[in-house]
């Protein structure tokens, strides 16, 4: 009897913890649907702009819209390249310490 109660409590705990994950996935899906530029294209734009190699990239929402933040290693320096998710234009390049 005690094992059933424990299993029920564990299952209830899992069910309570799932919605935030689902919400995060839904938010990410909405961001990706709104971006007309793919992550792969944004990485290519960042690498071409810096002559480096990307090692990390993510889609972010800012006050102006969506942008990809691509981390690039170029000439021994870590750079962060912002790429517009609608136009694929480089919005900025800055050293990332």
Residues 90 and 48 in one domain: yes
Backbone angles phi, psi at 64, to 5 degrees: -100, -15
Residues 28 and 46 in one domain: no
Residues 7 and 43 in one domain: no
pLDDT digits 0-9 by tens, 31-84:
777 778 999 999 999 999 999 999 999 999 888 889 999 999 999 999 999 999
Residues 17 and 47 in one domain: no
Residue 59, classed as helix, strand or coil, is strand
Alpha-helical segments (H) within the chain: 2-34, 39-50
On the question of pLDDT at 22 being above 60, the answer is no
Q: Which helix (H) or strand (E) holds 96?
A: none
Domain span at 76: 36-97
């Amino acid at each position: 009897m005690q094992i059933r109660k424990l299993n029920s409590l564990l299952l209830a705990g899992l069910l309570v913890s799932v919605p935030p994950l689902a919400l995060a996935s839904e938010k990410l899906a909405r961001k990706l649907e709104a971006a007309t530029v793919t992550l792969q294209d944004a990485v290519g734009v960042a690498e071409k702009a810096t002559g480096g190699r990307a090692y990390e990239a993510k889609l972010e929402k800012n006050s102006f819209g969506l942008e990809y933040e691509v981390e690039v290693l170029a000439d021994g320096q870590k750079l962060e390249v912002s790429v517009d998710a609608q136009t694929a234009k480089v919005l900025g390049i800055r050293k990332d310490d």
